[in-house]
Amino acid sequence: MLQIVYIGRYKRAIDRASTNSKDHVFYAVSTHTKAIKLIDTLKDKQCVVLLYEQTCLDSDLIEIKVLKNKYPDLSIILVFEKIKKDNVQHYLQAGISNTIPIDFTDKAFLDLINFQLLKQRQERSYTIPSEQITDFKLPRWKRAFDVLFASSALIFLSPLLLATALAIRFESKGKIIYKSKRVGSNYNVFDFLKFRSMYIDADKHLRDLNELNQYADSSNILDDGMQDIILPEDEAILIDDSDEIIFISDDYVLPESAYNKKKSDEQKNAFVKLENDPRVTRVGRFIRKFSIDELPQLINIIKGDMSIVGNRPLPLYEAELLTSDEYIDRFMAPAGLTGLWQIKKRGDAGKLSAEERKLLDIKYAKSFSFTLDTMIILKTFTAFIQKENV
């Protein structure tokens, strides 16, 4: 239940707000200092919505900042009589989250309250209890093994690394080592290293090649059905009277139901892996087949970004789709050069579903050990040669 606190003296607004707050708790005070004393006595401060009656810009900004500093999560609604366009930005920067005219109608007030209730429910549904939030810490035995193994491998494989670098340089233009931002344990972002196996600017063509994605359903490419629901900007006004919330982006205008379906479909197919990818060079196809393109990650391991065994670090656009409670455990493990799903279904088993990959990642995060790591490393050596071009 919302607890509505009105700061001001305009009796008509107070009476109207009080009348329309019959299903909630309503308080009216004359100053922000009295509001602070009142809010401090309330048990559930997250349920408080504060209606702040506009007076003088300078004093308003000071008082709103005081309130926002003391209660960072507090929703503050500016009740205004007249407001200059230039002053709107000042109020927003001070901490105002919404506005309503001082002679508001019953419908406008109820719409505002319903919005606050919806916002409150959404925020609580996304909140993870503090006891569930943990940071992953790499065990000392695992870190010692990583440094020893990676250093030895770099020395032993140095001729192969040099030959690969020369082959990449001779075949196509571009940097020999490809860097991309990846998300590892604890959602740490780092520069992920690989030998470049594609032509330059390959990532820019990813959406054009979505139909090749092994983890996307053939009936559900990224833009499937979007042609029917994307509206030109000059048509957006036609849906303003709809009961449905409208999401407006730089390149689309979507009803809430269509937006939620789009995000749901993206989360189901968070991983991206292309079959017979035309962006791959000839050298790239060879080094991918024998996993030579992954060897620069030995440097990531020495730096501490990754471990020999763990869950593969994900690109940002994939990781952002796996932030729900259901999948967050996969990030409570080291980012690895190899892992469970690589040895389970390598190559021909690249048909492994996205859901199976997620479950294997979570399984490793909850049960990794020295014995399991040793088993994965031994099986990795027998799984180097993939049975298809991926």
Span 339-358, pLDDT tens digits: 888 787 554 444 566 777 78
Could you write out the three-class secondary structure of the chain? CCEEEEECCCHHHHHHHHHCCCCCEEEEECCHHHHHHHHHHCCCHHHEEEEEECCCHHHHHHHHHHHHHHCCCCEEEEEECCCCHHHHHHHHHHCCCEEEECCCCHHHHHHHHHHHHHHHHHHHHHCCCHHHCCCCCCCHHHHHHHHHHHHHHHHHCHHHHHHHHHHHHHHCCCCCEEEEEEECHHHCEEEEEEECCECCCHHHHCHHHHHHECCCCCCCCCCCCHHHCCCCHHHHHHHCCCCCCEEECCCCEEEHHHHHHHHHHHHHCCCCCECCCCCECHHHHHHHHCCHHHCCHHHHHHHCCCEEECECCEEHHHHCCCCCCCCHHHHCCCEEEECHHHHHCCHHHHHCCHHHHHHHHHHHHHHCCHHHHHHHHHHHHCCCCCCCCC
Pairing of strands 307-309, 336-338: parallel
User: How far apart (Å, rounded) are the C-alpha atoms in residues 95 and 267?
Assistant: 33
- Judged by phi (left if over 0) then psi (alpha if -120 to 50, else beta), residue 114 lies in alpha
Query: What pLDDT is recorded for position 303?
Result: 93
Say if CB 49 and CB 26 are below 8 A apart: no
Q: By mean pLDDT, which of 12-26, 150-164, 172-186, 251-265 is the weakest?
A: 251-265
Q: Could you tell me the pLDDT band of residue 50, with boundaries at 50, 70 and 90?
A: very high
| Residue pLDDT, tens place only, 65-122 | 999 888 888 889 999 988 887 888 888 888 888 889 999 999 889 888 888 887 777 6
**CATH superfamily ID and name for 3-127:** Response regulator (3.40.50.2300)
Nearest to 176 by CA among 188, 162, 187, 190: 162
- Decide the pairing of beta strands 75-80 and 48-53: parallel
Residue 240 has pLDDT above 80, yes or no: no
- What amino acid occupies position 265? D
Taking only the tens place, the pLDDT of each residue in 135-161 is: 678 889 999 999 999 999 999 999 999
User: How far is CA 81 from each of CA 56, 99, 116, rounded to the nearest angstrom?
Assistant: 11, 10, 22
pLDDT reported for residue 184: 87
* Domain spans of the chain, in order of start: 3-127, 141-207+270-381, 217-268
On whether the CB atoms of residues 307 and 142 are closer than 8 A, the answer is: yes
State the pLDDT confidence band at 262, using cuts at 50, 70 and 90. Answer: low
pLDDT, position 206: 52
Task: Yes or no: say if 88 and 115 are a contact pair by the CB < 8 Å rule.
Answer: no
> What is the average pLDDT across 198-226?
50
CB of 281 closer than 8 Å to CB of 195: no
- Encoded tokens for 364: 């490793």
pLDDT higher than 80, residue 281: yes
- Core vs surface per residue 295-322: b (16+ CB within 10 A) or e: bbbbebbbeebbbbbbbbbbbeebbebb
Partners of 190 in the β-ladder: 182
The confidence score (pLDDT) of residue 242 equals 42
* pLDDT tens, residue by residue, 158-209: 999 999 999 999 988 888 998 888 888 888 888 999 998 887 765 555 555 5
Answer whether residue 380 shows pLDDT above 80: yes
Residue 308 has pLDDT above 60, yes or no: yes
Please state, rounded to an integer, the average pLDDT across all residues of the chain.
76
